[in-house]
Structure 1
Amino acid sequence: MLYDESSNDGTSCRLNEFVFLGVNLSAIVNRKLIVEFLGISLLLTLFVISNQLESAELKFALLTAIYVLFSCLLFGISRNKYIIMLSVFSAILYIPVVIFSNNATTMPVLIYQYSSLIFGFSLSCYLYSKPDLFYKVSNFNLSFFTLFLTVHYIISLQSGAPFYIYANDIFAGLSRNVVSFYAIFSMAAYLFSCKLYSQKIKYIRLFALVVFCVLLFGRSGIAISLAVLLLALFHGSLKKGFIIFIVISLFVLVFYHSLELSLMETNFSKGVESPRSSMNAEFLGMLDLKTLLFGVKLSDMPTVMLFEGNPHNSFISVNMKFGYILLFYIAMILFCLVVFAFFDLFYFILFTLLIFRYSLDTVAFFGQFTDLILYLHVIHAFNLVSKNTIIINKLSKRL
């Protein structure tokens, strides 16, 4: 097992809250939790700041330093043997990429990718083993990003620029579609922690992020954020979820009218066909054993070249940069889908929505802080298999 929920110094899966005169004393009493929370909150803040840097070289250098530093700290604290195993395995996996990649992947990029993988897995293991911390961090992240977008929305109103145009400059070099993905990531991470540790879901911030996704006008952002919200609503209560959804729908319609917007003005009016379809078709047309192992050449994908080498698909992107590394991620994803399909429908739906979003933009597998949600699902899938294997073995012995 990557993590035994019954252990961890007697910490239970449900949070222990100590309230006196309306003041939550648990955060004050547990000084270690405060330090951990502040450390990860600082990490989140540094990630947001780094994404606003104009220089790509400086951004990569800063993120690599952050990943290496926090990976060492996390291993020093947790002493998790799986981190060492993954580090060695990944090193062996990534080294040939520099030699054989069709797109001349450079050593700095490889180091950045490798360090982000180790960091993401290390932090995921640590958060998964700390119920109180994981819930507080995901809750903070949801509030932080909701406030972050609210501030930028107010600034866009003052500047006179439509929010979907203004949002292209929120993160340097990243489009508004990536902004909507960060919103979906924040929603998914919060739901993951609430479901895992049996916490009551609070819907206001989820609804607010859905509204921002609508204002960003991205088809995938609108559809998937609504799907995540619906999953949260119906997980809480089928009847309550239906009522809340009706109320939200009416509110959104009024909101549209007040801003003189309609769904026909979003990217849905362009239909489902887009340059992404051409990119996907080009990639699939080039796919064979050689390109699967060593990556499709950028020069063989003219549509991608028209968009400055951005295939708008995380799976295509990782293949172009790292070739056969794509198979490593596909294996993880298939494993999770099979496990969740058998043991937990909620995680199956949530994970499927995330994977679908990965296929619509370059937002995963390449040093993103948001890769955490992928590794958390992988760890949880391993634990589900381990737990159910133990149960099956005990039942078989009794029979």
Structure 2
Amino acid sequence: MYSSFNHPQPDANGYFGQYGGSFIPPQLQTIMDEITKAYLTIRQEPDFLSELARLYKHFVGRPSPIFHAQNLSEKYGADIYLKREDLNHTGAHKINHCLGEALLAKKMGKTKLIAETGAGQHGVALATAAALVGLKCDIYMGEVDIAKEYPNVVRMRILGATVIPATHGLKTLKEAVDAAFEAYMQDPVNQFYAIGSVVGPHPFPMMVRDFQSVIGNEAREQFHEMNNKHPDHLVACVGGGSNAMGLFSAFLSDSVMMHGVEPAGRDLEKQGEHAATLTLGVPGTMHGFKSYMLQDEAGEPAPVHSVASGLDYPSVGPQHAHLKDSGRVNYAAINDDEAIHAFFELSRLEGIIPAIESSHAVAYAIKLAKEKGPSDILVNLSGRGDKDIDFVVKHYGKQYGIETMVEG
């Protein structure tokens, strides 16, 4: 666990190259400085690290295994491996940083955790962590996503969280972030905003990355144990970018190709029909940090779309922006139809139903296998698809031979 947090970036002001920082009101900056100080202290404390390691092992079920997807590999001509974050308690990678943030909030004397969620996985994970450590929990979620990911809304409520709809704008993830920030500003002393990705003002891009780096640390050791080498390629979906950053962080100094996969949505050529921030965005500032963002003609965050609720965000973590500019990571885009095809391919070839978010990474791995031929491709399977089943059957069931039940 100690090695997880020894990363060279960001600098003291939270910058990864020219990206990151903290662009927030002065009164909130005071609170953010307290969080930074508390985090930099607690991440060196053996008791905290031991407690986090204990929860990762006995509560989350870590380490998550690596699985060789033999049937998928034989069909597409490359060895495709899956880092099984979908097997974590709550069904995704989100629990990794939610436990860390909840423990930090408790130590700081906060009484409530608040957060945004898109697909609902972060919301479920935070509600779970809040119940475990004994804190109240408010989750902000766009009305569109509440309808789309309703099974996760039920889980959050069962766990004792209050789910608050974001009813303005497109009523999706960006609006949920807006609403959560507004609520946080009303009482930053007693509330802790547990940001759900490697985004937001410093220290959150650093802190969430650190907690998620357990993925890459495990994967590096596990893959080498299996094959006595590193994989040739790493693949992970990118919305805000936490699961990708968690995997990539352990391999940045190795000669491994890395691929971050964004949503091309319905139409990569049309604004509002995709969320391919690093592919088509420009540097800008929103939600308290500087990174690439998709902007409209007025310089405001542009409307976005993805079939995956967890990916429809018009910006991206600042470390990803830095990795794009440096050329260390290749960022590509997969459209809705390709992601859904991969959803069914993995389900029917391997018996693993992935989250639609993760399906973007699986789709790109399939494309990579076709292009590169024999090679080792490690995909971060960031979440399971339970939450997506109703949506997929409703919108794609007929196309893939699934008959929906007739009411009455």
TM-score normalised by structure 1 residue count: 0.28
Instruction: Tell me which protein shows more strand as a share of its residues.
Output: 2
TM-score normalised by structure 2 residue count: 0.27
Instruction: Tell me which protein shows more helix as a share of its residues.
Output: 1
